[in-house]
Amino acid sequence: MSAHVIDGVRVADEILRTTRVRALDVEQALGRKACLATVLVGDDPASHTYVRMKANRCRTAGLDSRSHHLPSTSRTADVVALIEDLSSDDTVDGILVQHPMPAHVDEREAFEAIAAGKDVDGVTMASFAAMSLGTTGFRSCTPAGIMHLLDAYAVDPTGLHAVVVGRSPILGKPVGMLLLARDATVTYCHSRTVNLPHLVAEADIVVAAVGKPELVKGAWIKPGAVVVDAGYNPGNVGDVEYSSAAERASLITPVPGGVGPTTIAVLLEQTVDAAHRAAAAAAGRT
């Protein structure tokens, strides 16, 4: 068996094609483009690269972007103050706080300063609650991108056993909630899980999101399973041992070119969603 490779670039392009059309509707309704504001603290080169990439994608999708860079010496209070200003700015539709942040900054406090209606990256507790309870809100972008990939390749999670390796609040935990909402049976695994190979071997869907290169071995993969690698480590290496896993899986995401493109596409999609809501609210006030 040789796995079919999931083309995240193609799926992302489909999301962005629809987003461009909807962005034009927003511009006509509001008299301005939908706007994503990014907040970056410190001088991490990778974070600067990601912010530039997102700004470029905004332009190609017909959105405006505003970058706000704070020095690495900034306190939590400084970061929170900026985010609160952006939250109250009617010309900003979505806010992205680039992470990780410097260790002395309370990342959770910074996230919680984002107004719920502008949390287009899905990082606040309100967004997690919405994902868990199935109410209106924004989804964490990487988990939402993963669901787009499954749908694009006709993978129906209903009744399947999904094993999520990783429990971060913006990736592992929310992707499990989204899979559960689609009637999968979800098992969470993590660094203290006993007998991880056995649990992975029982999975119909494996989501690797632990941030450790090639932690998930190809020999663990159940023949015919769907493997989604949400890890990205130095050297373009994911969390799954790709070559051997591809020999056993039916579908597998590459690194890069799998989950990453859909993450950015969902971010822009949700920014346009937020702008649409702003336009609807403005129309209701007139």
Question: Could you read off the pLDDT of 127-164 as tens digits, one per residue?
Answer: 999 999 999 899 999 999 999 999 999 999 999 999 99
Q: Distance between alpha carbon 21 and the CA centroid of its chain, in Å? A: 22
Element (H, E) at 3: none
Reported as a single tens digit per residue, the pLDDT across 186-203 is 999 998 999 999 999 999
What integer pLDDT is reported at residue 144 of this predicted model? 98
What integer pLDDT is reported at residue 244 of this predicted model? 98
State the Cα–Cα distance between residues 105 and 55, nearest whole angstrom.
Answer: 24
Q: Which fold has domain 141-260?
A: Rossmann fold (3.40.50)
Tokens 């029982």 locate to 202
The pLDDT mean for the chain works out to 96
What integer pLDDT is reported at residue 285 of this predicted model? 64
Tokens 């990014």 locate to 38
State the Cα–Cα distance between residues 124 and 111, nearest whole angstrom.
Answer: 6
What integer pLDDT is reported at residue 12 of this predicted model? 98
pLDDT average, residue stretch 248-261? 97
State the Cα–Cα distance between residues 256 and 6, nearest whole angstrom.
Answer: 11
The alpha carbon torsion through 70, 273, 206, 216 (nearest 10 deg) reads: -20
Reported as a single tens digit per residue, the pLDDT across 27-83 is 999 999 999 999 999 998 888 888 999 999 999 999 999 999 999 999 999 999 999
Residue 286 has pLDDT above 60, yes or no: no
Give catalytic residues, as residue numbers: 54, 98, 121
CA distances for 127 relative to 30, 55, 65, 87, 90, angstroms: 25, 23, 22, 15, 20
Asked whether 152 and 183 are in contact (CB, 8 A), the reply is no
Taken as a whole, the chain contains a residue count of 286
Joined together, the tokens standing for residue 180 give: 């559960």
Reported as a single tens digit per residue, the pLDDT across 84-123 is 999 999 999 999 999 889 999 999 999 999 999 999 999 9
pLDDT average, residue stretch 250-277? 97
Q: Which of 69, 89, 33 is nearest to 272 (CA)?
A: 33
Residue 1 has pLDDT above 80, yes or no: no
Asked whether 125 and 133 are in contact (CB, 8 A), the reply is no
Task: Tell me whether the omega of the peptide bond preceding residue 100 falls within 30 degrees of 0, making it cis.
Answer: yes
What integer pLDDT is reported at residue 58 of this predicted model? 96
Share of the chain above pLDDT 90, in %: 91
Predicted TM-score (pTM) of the model is 0.95
Share of the chain above pLDDT 70, in %: 99
Sorted by where each begins, the domain ranges of the chain are 30-115, 141-260
> What CATH number belongs to 30-115?
3.40.50.10860
Q: Residue 250 carries which DSSP code?
A: S
| Cα three-residue angle 195-198-201, rounded to 5 degrees | 150
Joined together, the tokens standing for residue 7 give: 């083309």
Topology alike, domains 30-115 and 141-260: yes
Residue 284 has pLDDT above 90, yes or no: no
**Buried/exposed 219-249: b ≥16 CB within 10 Å, e otherwise:** ebbbeebbbbbbbbeeeebbbbbbeebbebb
pLDDT average, residue stretch 218-226? 98
CA distances for 139 relative to 56, 74, 185, 214, angstroms: 22, 28, 20, 27
